[in-house]
Structure 1
């Protein structure tokens, strides 16, 4: 079920709080009824999958149970109320609240992470939508590239008011510019063949008369033409078409243009008027498939014969032809050039090139089509050889005809013109290629087919290579043109200034100049498109990088969803395993109870003579030794002669050795037998004693201390005359640790230890929830006092460390402390810290050095995750003290207090201050991140050469729930198996190292990696 009730577990805890003032006055029996309803409701909600409301109901139930236990009626009859509440219900509620709290914390964190990723994902989708809209707008604007302004600008620079067949075909295909075509050929010609388009309208040439107005023309038009005639006012372009596109006075196309521009004053035209360049004849040859009849031919009229005269006919003179020719005086004939065979080059801008027209290099006609006499080059060579020959040449000096130089100049100019045309054609082709590249890129971006996309990408790469080749070819063409111009200039400088260029040379130069202007315009367009292509390539690379980031974001989103599903499945399996384990435990207990009824005990053979007759009411304890048999055996052994070897007597030592006392107390651990492994025995909950069980399991896995108690070494140091506890706590701890590490039991109950602790500390006497840190502090203090080798303690000296080096003062304080405190507890758990008070007035410091057995680290007040190093930094952060009286200047204006860690112990206990009071006691649920494998505190310790700064974690005491209604567990690393285990009262299960870190961590136990224990502790 989706989360809906809150944003964090803290908010759920607030919802679970009860109005204590109201419930204090309520009858406890009514509260018990409400509590049972809450418990049943919580279980039902849990089964339905409503984790949030189930957690709130469980916490309300636990808070209500705590309120009931504080009432006076409950204290009078605890057993009655516990039966009403159900002893198992409270524990089940705590366990369920713990599981739900873990699950909810994880889900809230995942939801927060998902919210961040979802926000990024939504921004990504919005950006993709905007990019798609921008791309669509770009394509739409691109299809409208041919506008009236574009046509006017591009056409006016080259052909005035004409539109080429290429431009008209592109305009028809792109469908972005409105137009109408007026065909002014005869009605018969139009019927035979015309442009295949619904906007092509016939205006027969016989209806066009000079001086006719538009209104008068409308009356003479055919019916079908009248329907389309009004469109001339609204379209962007009006195209006029005749056979050859000749705008001469008196022609039909000239008359229609005059009517539209001059004799239609009452109308306002939106667009412009264009004449089809070279007429329908050119359209027919270029786009035959877009005509109604591609086989039509133009009707050419014969030339008029009005000016013909028979006198104009020249007849050959045969007498003149028979005369001998003087070769020296006859100039070689001029080369005859057929201009009609020269290809026409259509110059097209990028907007004029059709999108889907296949691109081919326009190849100009070869030079062989230029008709010339073969003697031109030979005569030119003769001229050059003659001019370079010495004067003493034998024979007559040839007469140089200057026309040969002019012919040579014309030849070079023709070559130059051909190269310019070729260069222009290559530029036009490059424009087409640029256009095709842009089209391919657009198609590739819009294509959803991977195969087509790959093909387009390959084509795009080929075109980029082609661009590089075309640039090199253009450079070669430019070099060749420059060489020809140099040759022409050389010939021109060698010719007399009196010789004027002929008409043909002027025409060639004019055409070259015109093509150079076109070439310059084309070059500018090519450069613009090249820059645009480069920008698009950069944008594409950036888009590719962003797309990769977006893909990574989507993968993260998918991974989160998969992790969520996997965790839900793991939680489901875990619940099933727990239910199965509970059923197994219940079945095993029933079998044990059944089997215990069938056990029969036989009397000992000597029981009748031991003083216990048949009528005696006393029964022998099976765990108590038979003293009669022991006495008999002792008497038998004593009757034998004993040989004493005096040499075996040990040497006397100055050390007074305490005689170890036997531990003959009979303890009832109420064990559940089973092979679990050494150190893997659980501790039964005796009624809210989970705080004690958690600490005992952590101490049990403190290997050095556990060995010290299990091996019996503690008896050599125990102080039975201790006025506070008399050594009883050490004995109980030793017995409990021996049972835990025997490997014989699945679980035991440490009732004797609890009773002993309750005798010496009243707060632990009952069965109310207690703080595990308080229990640990008191237990360690009792163990230290019982094992202290110094029997008579003296008070510590007052420290006066002003002006003394810190190391000297610290050593003196440590020696003073250890002179009165010498025990295994001090050896393992005692560290030293430096406390300083700096006066706000005189700035002098008052420094003292104090021992510690554990460090209570504050947690940052925010609910965000923090590291354990941040807690250490907060612990050593200076704080302001108000009203402190400075011993130096006697002012009471306050001081700055700072605590620094001076010396670390071999076993460091870190307590996280999760509980705080802001009117009522609350708990901080921050996730404190700590390293399971190694903790380096070198930066925290202030001594120059610190010891034990590298530590490893071996135990964690966890707390779940609130201060009044909570549950304790322990995570411990077993030294026997080098694995982590969870100790939840009597239940013990293996866990991974990653599960150790949780927001429930309350007390952390570290041991120094480089610590070498003394022999007594090692054994």
Structure 2
């Protein structure tokens, strides 16, 4: 439940209660009064403990007061404030604070961000002048001393207190405007939360929405998904909040939509996260593509296209869309027919591969799935227009890659009218080289291959995970912020290791091209 804190030496001075001032209460609450008006020993211990807590809050790295221990003894680091017990050396979460109070009868805690005093019996933060004076001095000067500085000190070299004052006042709030917030579950909406969390860490979408790409203030569209996305990006990346976010506006956009496909979303049933991703990107594409066309009609200059051969220049196409090339070769006369299709994500089948004996020995991987889809030819139904032969082979490859590559591992299948989940372990890399699966990889010399391959390397950005079975399953996600991974379980956000990510049962993988990662 809790973790021990470093202990600082006790002050030899006898603590004093701050004298009464007009309009200012003498004590934070009746419970604090009983504590501080008791024996001198209790008063000294309380002041000493509060100073120790403030040293932890102010002097240590932010991760220390934000880390507690679970009942099983595992370290738990959270983004929401923790509470340092004033009567023992335990650091605990908000829920753990209640349990700790019931077990130990300890009633006073120090908030881990700013050092505010919390009274369990009042169930609220309380303003106590004596402890508040210590808090303000510690945060303001880095010291509990109230010594006034001499005039000569103002013109000397920076003292220790000066450097501490500068350090305290130039440190940003932990995770300030970094996009790290949980999202509240509003009734089986974990499928929506994991997709939104993944998009919040998408560099192209982030720059688009924070850069006024969709002008919400000028938008007249009712139940606009792009406006809801604007609101989320502002809340995640432009506000120093780390508490959970309610995506009710986003959910309402789909509930109020007249589209038949979205009717299932207006229920408390669990939905498919991949389908929601498709719905969301389709809506964003339609809104932003229409805005682009309207701008051209109004005489605005056309922005530079991300890809010259792309039919749409909206942010969704710039971010997620690529193209695959299918080559069909007639086995009779050798005629070759080629077709090109756009894709927003690549779906990798698991059912057939997972049943192979070699896979049971070596294990299934994303690389093996990509090889089966884009490096191996397969027989297909085709009638040759030249010779009439019905035997042909089809080989698919990737003609152009997107900036953000979305890979769906097809874990859900329909068989005999019933749905089931494929729980085969699929390994995936933190860095993915997509060059071997492109049509450029064929017929090139080795030097040219290495040069082209550098532009086809991706780094893992987010992972959507489905836990459990189809009936009682739950979605969680992992996302990378800088070099640190975080686990998002609805409104709960915790630190995660690379091994946590790589050992997860991935359902959707989001890779960002290395130049943008």
Answer yes or no: is the 8 Å Cα contact 2:223–2:256 preserved in 1.
no
Note if 1:1001 corresponds to 2:506. Answer: yes
Q: Does the 8 A contact of 1:784 with 1:825 survive in 2?
A: yes
Contact 1:720 1:786 in 2 (8 A): no
Contact map agreement 1:832 1:904 (CA 8 A) in 2: yes
5 Å matches for 1:807-826?
A: 818-819=310-311, 821-826=312-317
Distance 1:743 1:696 in 2: 19
2: distance between equivalents of 1:679 and 1:850? 34
Bigger radius of gyration, 1 or 2? 1
Question: What residue in structure 2 maps to residue 869 of structure 1?
Answer: 367
Match of 1:732 in 2: 228
Cα distance in 2 for residues equivalent to 1:592 and 1:970: 37
Name structure 1 gaps, 5 residues minimum: 1-568, 597-673, 793-813, 1013-1019
The 8 Å contact of residues 181 and 245 in structure 2, kept in 1 or not, is answered as yes
Q: 2:435 is paired with a residue of what secondary structure?
A: coil
Give the 5 Å matches for 1:103-502: none
Matches within 5 A, 1:604-643: none
Match of 2:345 in 1: 854
Give the aligned partner of residue 690 of structure 1.
Answer: 190
Contact 1:727 1:786 in 2 (8 A): no
Question: What SS does the aligned partner of 1:822 have?
Answer: coil
Tell me, what secondary structure is at the counterpart of 1:748? coil
Matches within 5 A, 1:702-721: 702-715=202-215
| 1:838 aligned residue (324, 329, 333) | 329
1:758 aligns with 2:255: yes
Structure 1 residues 837 and 580: CA distance shift in structure 2, 3 A:
farther
Distance 2:75 2:453 in 1: 47
Q: 1:881 aligns with which of 369, 380, 393?
A: 380
Secondary structure of the residue that 1:573 maps to in structure 2? coil
- For residues 856 and 591 of structure 1, the distance between their equivalents in structure 2, rounded to whole angstroms, comes to 52
Deviations, residues 534-564 of structure 1 (Å, cap 9, x unaligned): xxxxxxxxxxxxxxxxxxxxxxxxxxxxxxx
Structure 2 unaligned blocks of 5 or more: 1-68, 79-90, 100-110, 112-117, 126-172, 295-306, 445-451
Structure 1 residue 874 displacement after superposition: 1.4
TM-score (norm 2): 0.58
Instruction: Note closer, same or farther for the CA distance 1:999–1:987 as it changes in structure 2 (3 Å cut).
Output: closer
Secondary structure of 2:370's counterpart equals helix
CA distance in 1, matches of 2:119, 2:489: 22
Listed one character per residue, the Cα deviations across residues 90-125 of structure 1 (whole Å, up to 9, x for unaligned) are xxxxxxxxxxxxxxxxxxxxxxxxxxxxxxxxxxxx
Contact 1:881-1:894 at 8 Å conserved across structures: yes
Structure 1 residue aligned with 2:460, among 953, 961, 966?
953
Q: Is the 8 A contact 2:397 2:439 kept in 1?
A: yes
CA contact (8 A) 1:903 1:946 kept: no
Q: Give how far 1:871 is off.
A: 0.9
CA contact (8 A) 1:832 1:850 kept: yes
CA distance in 2, matches of 1:684, 1:900: 40
Moved more, 907-916 or 693-702: 907-916
Aligned to 1:987: 492
Q: Deviations over 1:461-509 (max 9, x none)?
A: xxxxxxxxxxxxxxxxxxxxxxxxxxxxxxxxxxxxxxxxxxxxxxxxx
Q: In structure 1, what is the Cα distance between the partners aligned to 2:397 and 2:505?
A: 27
Contact 1:682–1:746 (8 Å) recurs in 2: yes
**Alpha-carbon contact 1:904-1:947 (below 8 Å) kept:** no
Structure-2 separation of matches of 1:682 and 1:787: 27
Q: Distance in 1 between matches of 2:459 and 2:201?
A: 13
Identify the residue that residue 701 of structure 1 maps to in structure 2: 201
CA–CA separation in structure 1 for the residues paired with 2:217 and 2:388: 47
The 1:849/1:875 distance shift into structure 2, 3 A limit, reads same
Q: CA deviation at 1:998?
A: 2.2
- How many angstroms does 1:753 deviate by? 0.7
Matched-pair contact (CA < 8 Å) for 1:952–1:1009? yes
Which residue is 1:573 aligned to?
73
TM-fit CA distance, 1:708: 1.5
Q: Deviations over 1:967-1013 (max 9, x none)?
A: 111100113xx31100000100011112111241111111111359x
Equivalent pair of 2:216/2:230 in contact (CA under 8 Å): no
The question of whether the paired residues in 1 share the 8 Å contact of 2:354 and 2:364 is answered with no
Change (3 A) 1:927 1:873: same
- Partners of 2:468 and 2:474 in 1: CA distance: 6
State how far apart, in whole Å, the 2-side matches of 1:586 and 1:689 are.
28
Q: Which residue of 2 aligns with 1:744?
A: 241
**Residue 822 of structure 1: how far off its partner (Å):** 1.4
Distance 2:218 2:234 in 1: 17
Change (3 A) 1:846 1:756: same
Deviation at 1:843, TM superposition (A): 3.5
Q: 2 CA distance for matches of 1:590 and 1:963?
A: 44
Work out the CA distance in 1 between the residues paired with 2:513 and 2:337.
Answer: 31
C-alpha change, 1:576 and 1:680, in structure 2 (3 Å) is: closer
Residues 888 and 681 of structure 1, relative CA distance in 2, 3 Å threshold: same
1:584 equivalent in structure 2: 96
Aligned match for 2:421, one of 923, 936, 939: 923
Q: Which has the higher strand share?
A: 2
- 8 Å Cα contact 1:906/1:1008 also seen in 2: yes
Deviations 1:898-952 (A, max 9, x none): 32111111111111111122323222222222222x2112211112646731111
Structure-2 change in CA distance of 1:790 and 1:736 (3 Å)? closer
1:769 is aligned, of 249, 262, 270, to 270
SS at match of 1:757: helix
- Shift in Å at residue 586 of structure 1? 6.8
| Aligned pairs for 1:478-557 within 5 A | none
CA apart distance, 1:714: 2.1
**1:939 aligns to what?**
436
Which residue in the other structure is 1:913 paired with?
Answer: 410
Q: Is the 8 A contact 1:952 1:1007 kept in 2?
A: yes
Counterparts in 2 of 1:1011 and 1:954: CA distance versus 1, 3 Å: closer
Secondary structure of the structure 2 residue equivalent to 1:916: strand
Q: Is the 8 A contact 1:675 1:744 kept in 2?
A: no
- Report the number of matched residues: 336
Relative to its length, the structure with more helix (as a share) is 1
Give 1:685 shift: 0.6
- C-alpha spacing 1:1010/1:745, structure 2 compared with 1 (3 Å): closer
User: Of the candidates 785, 806, 810, which is equivalent to residue 286 of structure 2?
Assistant: 785
Secondary structure of the residue aligned to 1:774 is: helix
Deviation at 1:694, TM superposition (A): 0.5
Q: More relative contact order in 1 or in 2 (CA 8 Å, sep 6+)? A: 2
Distance 1:843 1:954 in 2: 43
In the other structure, the counterpart of 2:399 is 902
Determine the structure 2 residue equivalent to 1:207.
Answer: none
Give the match's secondary structure for 1:905.
Answer: coil
SS of match in other structure, 1:755: helix
Q: Displacement, 1:887?
A: 3.5
Counterpart CA distance in 2 for 1:766 and 1:866 is: 35
Residue pair 2:181, 2:491 contacting (<8 A) in 1 also: yes
For the 8 Å contact 1:720–1:727, the answer to whether it is kept is no
* Structure 1 residue 857, shift from structure 2 partner: 1.2
Residue 55 of structure 1 is matched in structure 2 by none
User: How far 1:704 moved relative to its partner?
Assistant: 2.3
> d(CA) in 2 for partners of 1:872 and 1:980?
25
Distance 1:718 1:886 in 2: 54
Partner of 2:21: none
Q: Is the 8 A contact 1:718 1:727 kept in 2?
A: no
